[in-house]
Amino acid sequence: MSKHYTEGQGYQNENYAEGALPKGEYENCTFTACTFANTDLSGYHFVECVFENCDMSMAKLRGTVFKDVLFKGSKLLGLHFNDCNGFIITFRFESCLLNFSSFYRLKLKNIRFTDCRLEEVDFVEADLTNAVFLNCDLNRAVFRSTILEGADFRSSYHFSIDPEANRISKARFALHSVSGLLDKYKISIE
């Protein structure tokens, strides 16, 4: 990685699919309505940054650092967050579209998803201890060998979680969505 370092900058309406963001470390920066779709962000470092109303769909994230990053109102389709630097990865998502993304094997204790669409997202073998899924659509999201201890699903919907194939001790669910824990039995609950 180059030594390019930027702190406290704001970027608006930039299209990095046409001209790449200089490779380096970005600290306390805000990216608003920027396009990163199909770009290569491998090796970039984003520390305490905000991505608001951005499109980062299908970007490459090999070795990318996201530390204390907020994604808000952003389109993040098909991202392989599991390719990021897994030792330094903390972020939260608000009102984001994350369909077809992967968090495979990541340690994401206390992660927070608020008002997000997480359709067909891969959470296989991830550690989501104390994660919060607030009003999220988890249609066809995959949970297998996932640690969901203390996770909060009370306001989320369309999830299917096999209690026998995941660790769900002390996880919280709303009574109206408990059927999502019984899907594998193919029973009708009325």
User: In CATH, what number is assigned to the domain containing residue 180?
Assistant: 2.160.20.80
Say if residue 190's pLDDT is above 70: no
Q: Are residues 110 and 39 in the same domain?
A: no
Considering 56, 76, 95, which residue would you say is the last residue of a domain?
Answer: 95
pLDDT of residue 101: 98
Rounded Cα distance between 83 and 62, Å, is: 5
Say whether both 53 and 115 belong to one domain: no
Q: Are residues 78 and 109 in the same domain?
A: no
Predicted confidence at residue 187, as pLDDT, reads 67
Q: What pLDDT, in 10s, does the model give residues 128-187?
A: 999 999 999 999 999 999 999 999 999 999 999 999 999 999 999 998 777 788 677 676
Q: In terms of domains, do 110 and 91 share one?
A: no
Cβ–Cβ < 8 Å for 163, 183: no
Q: Distance between CA atoms of 87 and 66, rounded to whole angstroms?
A: 10
121 compared with 180, residue with greater pLDDT: 121
Strand locations in 38-183, DSSP E?
Answer: 45-47, 50-52, 65-72, 89-94, 112-114, 132-134
3-class secondary structure, 81:
helix
At 1 the pLDDT is: 42
CB-based contacts of 185: which residues, under 8 Å, 6+ apart?
none
Integer-rounded Cα Rg, in Å, for the chain is 17
Q: Are residues 69 and 14 in the same domain?
A: yes
pLDDT computed for residue 189 by the predictor: 66
Under a CB-based contact definition with an 8 Å cutoff, are residues 59 and 80 in contact? no
Regarding whether 50 and 107 lie in a shared domain, the answer is no
| Whether 118 and 74 share a structural domain | no
Boundaries of domain holding 19: 1-95
- The total domain count for the chain is 2
Tell me the residue ranges of DSSP E strands in 57-179: 65-72, 89-94, 112-114, 132-134
Amino acid identity of residue 39, one-letter, is T
**pLDDT-based confidence at 2, cuts 50/70/90?**
very low
Q: Which amino acid is at 182?
A: L
- pLDDT at residue 28 in the model: 98
Q: Is the pTM of this model over 0.75?
A: yes
Average pLDDT over residues 7-13: 98
pLDDT digits (tens, 9 = 90+) for 77-112: 999 999 999 888 999 999 999 999 999 999 999 999
| Per-residue model confidence (pLDDT) at position 87 | 84
* Band (53; pLDDT cuts 50, 70, 90): very high
Distance of alpha carbon 52 from alpha carbon 68, whole angstroms: 14
Q: Look at residue 123 in the predicted model and tell me its pLDDT.
A: 98
The pLDDT, as a whole number, for residue 30 is: 98
Q: Are 101 and 79 in contact (CB under 8 A)?
A: yes
